[in-house]
Structure 1
Amino acid sequence: MKENPFKNLETKKEAPKEIKDNIMKEIASIKLFMEFGDLFFIKYPSVIKSYFKSEK
């Protein structure tokens, strides 16, 4: 049987703290933009639509 090359990879190294912090900030920004998109393009229009439907 052939040797598994993935077992030779070194997995004990960690990324530097600066990189981890930068990635976490980017993820937080992406989540914020997703929440704004959800609010203005999904929730807000459905509220307006339901409001005008109930007024008729």
Structure 2
Amino acid sequence: MVKQMPAHVLEGMVARTPVGRIGEPMDIARAYLFLADPGADFISGTVLSVDGGMVVGT
């Protein structure tokens, strides 16, 4: 999705993201693996934001 965005838009997104980078597919995969693990079986009814802190940084 971000491959089509102009460089200045991506730079702005990175500047507003506390971790200082754009997310990678592996970031989503790690969150999925965490939730799929039996140790997370009591987690329900919540939203897990995998956004590098972007929501917190706004």
TM-score (structure 1 length as normaliser) = 0.28
Greater Rg over alpha carbons, structure: 1
Answer 1 or 2: which has greater helix percent: 1
Q: Give me the TM-score of the superposition, normalised by structure 2.
A: 0.28
